[in-house]
A and B are shown apart, each in its own frame.
Chain A
Amino acid sequence: MIEEHLDFNLLRKCADCGACYNVCPSCLYIEGYDPRAVIKDILKGDFEKWLHSEHIWQCLECHQCLELCYQHYGFENAMTAMRLLATKKGIHPAQVKRGWDMFVKTGRLGEPAMGQRKRLGLPEPKKSGKEEFLKLLAIYKERKAQEKNRGEAEL
């Protein structure tokens, strides 16, 4: 399952390199944040403990590592994979779930501040694509369900 998300050949080089420590803001300023330790555990097949760790949510997705990396890979890939696996198991900060819920209900992460807009003399915001988005979401979910059924039938 983890192999689906990560290229182990690249990860192995990463485990030996560590150049990112010098540019990664979270490595530099947040105690205990150490993507290479995570990567080594992934390579050992022993990463479960990280799914519960607050550290995997401290990657800022700033892409400094990606740009610096001679493999154009980056520490962040390991952290993103960990977060994906964690959310699949329902382990994530409460705020992430709140944001997700709002997104699938409204297509947005916040509604325009109407009172403040009026006071500032801003025009009415344009209509959002909420209805069309919800339709598209239903289509997407249906496709995913079909795929899953097909997959199970093939097994």
Chain B
Amino acid sequence: MKEFAVFWGCTIPARFPFIEKSVRTVLNGMGLPWRDCEGFTCCPEKSLINNIDHGLWVLTGARNIAIVDEQGLDLVSPCTGCISNLATIKGELHVDHRKKEEVNSMLKEVGRKFTGRAGLNHLVPFFHDKVGAFRIKSAIKKDFRGMRFAVHYGCHMMRPYHALKNDDPLEPKKFDTLISWLGGESVNYMTKLTCCGQGLDRVDQHPTALQMARVKLKELKSIGVDAMVLCCPSCFLQFDNNQFLMEKEGESYGIPVLYFTDLLGLAMGYSPEELGLNQHRISVDGFLEKWERLWAARDTEKKIAEEFKEEGAFI
């Protein structure tokens, strides 16, 4: 496997360092060849920067990509926004040579060069494609048989497709497949591919952001799932923090929210604390208890079967 840099972005280290911890724990636990790189800035965020100055948006992204280009690394991000922005910028420069030259003439003045050789991917399709079923299944000690998950893809994991090319943009499958490798059931639900709506919180429209959060939470509450699993800090903000704000106002949904590596890490045998689960606003205790209960029941079943066998029963 080619060595890769992890692009943390701004939101995870600033607001959700426990997600960073969860990702680090799993990457190290699986022994993957990854590195932290010096010199990154904001990806930059599309809705804020691109709406004001497209040229600066492209230039900043190109500089971030140049850092991994120079070191011959690929880049993997646990943030859907970061990876979508970087891939969009890379795609734009690939088809527009004049723009690429212009960008490089500026980058040259700070000693950098964008080639766009580095492969860019989000953590989830990366685990699906590059880590793969065999390594993941071999790393699992305790799977999630009997547990129901609501996968929330996060729009920018696989859109825009022309830039990312990592899953079907309207009917993605890879995240669901990962859940099935972990033994869990990824339930189908109507609003599965609906955007989280967190962007509204960045443009001073908090009540509308909450309204969007409700769309999914209401459906999940009514169909009943053990947890929602997602792969983006913005979506996490929307479903964990904002769900908590609503809960405080007496509007309770009780849907635990897990980051992808939380689930994988638990299956690998890491404790909830090692994955920072105790820092989530919406309690994950109910989820963990059910999981423990299922495994305890399996142990009892096994014991009974063994006792029967000792007594000569045909089972």
Contacts and interface: CB of A to CB of B under 8 A. Distances in A.
Interface of A: 25, 28-30, 54, 57-58, 60-64, 66-68, 72, 80, 83-84, 87, 92-96, 99-100, 103, 107-113, 116-117, 120-123, 125-130, 132-133, 135-137, 139-140, 143-144
Contact of A122 (B17, B37, B59, B161): B17
Q: Is chain B's binding surface mostly helix, strand, loop or mixed? A: helix
Given A68-B170, A109-B45, A93 B203 contact: yes
The 6 lowest CB-CB distance pairs between A and B, nearest first, are A110-B14, A107-B41, A63-B159, A62-B195, A129-B39, A62-B155
Contact of A109 (B11, B56, B63, B169): B11
A126 B41 contact: no
B208 A58 contact: yes
A126 B162 CA distance: 31
Contacts of B138: none
Contacts of B155: 60-64
B191 to A, nearest CB: 9
Contacts of B40: 126, 128-129
7 contacts: A94-B204, A109-B10, A122-B20, A125-B8, A133-B60, A136-B63, A137-B56
B160 A63 contact: yes
A25 B212 contact: yes
Contacts of A60: 155, 195, 197, 199-200
A19 to B, nearest CB: 12
A107 B18 contact: no
Given A80-B51, A93-B203, A103-B48, A130 B41 contact: yes
Interface stretch (B103-111, B263-271, B283-291, B307-315): B103-111
A96 B169 CA distance: 28
Contacts of A72: 162
A133 B59 CA distance: 10
A136 B110 contact: yes
Contacts of A29: 197, 211-212, 215
A129 B111 CA distance: 13
A57 B161 CA distance: 23
